[in-house]
Structure 1
Amino acid sequence: MNHVHLLDIEFEQNGQKQIITPVLLHDDNHTILIDCGYPDFLPLLEKAAQKHGILLESLTAVIVTHHDMDHIGSLAALKRTYPQIEIIAYESEVPYLAGSKKSLRIEQAEATLDDLSPEEKPHAEAFIRFLESIEPANVDRTVSHQERLPWCGGIEIIHTPGHMPGHISLYLLESKTMIAGDAVVASSGKLEIANPQFTMDMETAIRSVQLLLTYDTRQLICYHGGLFVGDARQALHQLIQAHTTNGLSEK
């Protein structure tokens, strides 16, 4: 039997309460974690998994949707603590996760420095230092678009670039569940593009949303916003329509 567990992790950042939703997949032989939060989140992950009766010692793999700090911050610590796990990521993400190429998020932040005011620049520089402090981790297995992993009832890899070029979403064939990562976020009963100011290519991000619509999705899980309550397909349509309309009005 296959299970999908949402690990809603509450924490405080910059004085504000936030929630992220890594996902734990579990069957008779495999326990797979999708994304792993910020640095030092290992105790939070362990506690959240235990609420579902699962110990992270049973982890067999961690699948990374992309190399943003809130998705990979505890990746190296996980591997060090549970060395049996297989780290899995999209092929183009490998050098960023391993630290052999500069994070695209660092490049993006550095590109804004000259345009910032003297008051804003220290905050941006501190953000860059934080990104630079994230411990690298080597990928054990790469995946490609539409590759199917045989675990937990079948997991299809969907390349959904835009937020980042190597971003992936995951479709669980047995339960018809879409794990969207940061392709979309759920907020106030609607789906939106995740952090538009950080989205590297908005047009590509919208095409990725259109790609998600080609799947028969019964439930949709966002890293930010958790399980979407409502008609996910209709909400995806509305998101595409809103951005298409805005695009036309701007021309």
Structure 2
Amino acid sequence: MNITDKIKMLEIPVKINGNQNMIYPVILVDGNSTILVDTGYPNQLAQLKQAFKAENISFNLLNSIIITHQDIDHVGNLMSIKKEASKPIDILVHEVEAPYIEGSKLPVKLALLESRLESLTEEMKLIYQGFKNFYNNLHININSTLTDNQVLPYCGGITVIFTPGHTPGHICLYHKASKTLIAGDCLGIENGELVTSSESINYDQDLYIKSLEKLSSYDINTVICYHGGLYEGNVSQRIKELVKK
């Protein structure tokens, strides 16, 4: 889906607990640069390629990937893409998040499951083992680390907004020219309304609320939520309402 002529929202179907859902990665297209923001769950490479094709963008043009944060549904196809790419792919993440993705720090959700291992149900132990196997095989070298307020040279300028809380190094991306926010998991959509990320899956709730307050200061007309898709309206006002809850 075209958000602007340079920002495309992908729609990738996924089954979660037997229910059909969607995730919404983003493609940024600017001249010779084709940038994917987040990569889906593991084993979704074929669906990613199909989504590129639906947007009339050649997957072979992909040259950079921006990861909003470490969670498995965002980094799931990093290795598959790097192995299949016909040319080097630059991987960009926030400097705080990089060690979790490179493997020198244990991803926070995996660490949480590990700390509760003895009390987990058999089903959750299987999920834990799947997470552990995945991250043990995620051997990614980060080409470039990002910092707060850094302006990337794509699409006339994409601002990196450091929004920790959901994870330690979560980022959002802001395209000032179109007033579009790529929110990662900082925000979601339920029943057509913009909502917060659940406290139960946030690394640090106090940090998360401060990040929402930070986002409320931006002039935003459109939000792309990784879980939920597109939201348009008086976004800043809605975020202020969410902070007060």
TM-score for the superposition, normalised by structure 2: 0.92
CA distance in 2, matches of 1:77, 1:169: 24
Q: Which residue of 2 aligns with 1:246?
A: none
Candidates 3, 9, 12, aligned match of 2:12? 9
Matched, 1:20 2:57: no
Contact persistence 1:160–1:208 (CA under 8 A): yes
Q: Which residue of 1 aligns with 2:72?
A: 69
* Alpha-carbon shift at residue 6 of structure 1 (Å): 0.5
Which structure 1 residue ranges, 5 or more long, are not aligned?
A: 243-251
CA distance in 1, matches of 2:5, 2:11: 19
CA distance in 2, matches of 1:44, 1:106: 26
Matched letter for residue 188 of structure 1: N
CA distance in 2, matches of 1:91, 1:240: 26
CA distance in 1, matches of 2:212, 2:90: 28
Candidates 195, 198, 213, aligned match of 1:195? 198
* 1:33-48 matched pairs, under 5 angstroms: 33-48=36-51
- Secondary structure in 1 aligned to 2:31? coil
- Secondary structure in 2 aligned to 1:38? coil
Matched, 1:238 2:241: yes
Runs of 4+ in 1 over 4 A off after TM superposition: none
Contact persistence 1:2–1:153 (CA under 8 A): no
CA distance in 2, matches of 1:93, 1:229: 29
* 1:1-251 matched pairs, under 5 angstroms: 2-82=5-85, 83-114=87-118, 116=119, 120-134=120-134, 135-136=137-138, 137-242=140-245
Contact persistence 2:217–2:236 (CA under 8 A): no
TM-score for the superposition, normalised by structure 1: 0.90
Alignment root-mean-square deviation, CA: 1.5
Matched letter for residue 88 of structure 1: L
Identity rate of aligned residues, in percent? 36
CA distance in 2, matches of 1:112, 1:19: 29
CA distance in 2, matches of 1:233, 1:216: 7
- Secondary structure in 2 aligned to 1:108? helix
Contact persistence 2:172–2:183 (CA under 8 A): yes
- Secondary structure in 2 aligned to 1:197? helix
CA distance in 2, matches of 1:138, 1:127: 25
* Alpha-carbon shift at residue 197 of structure 1 (Å): 1.0
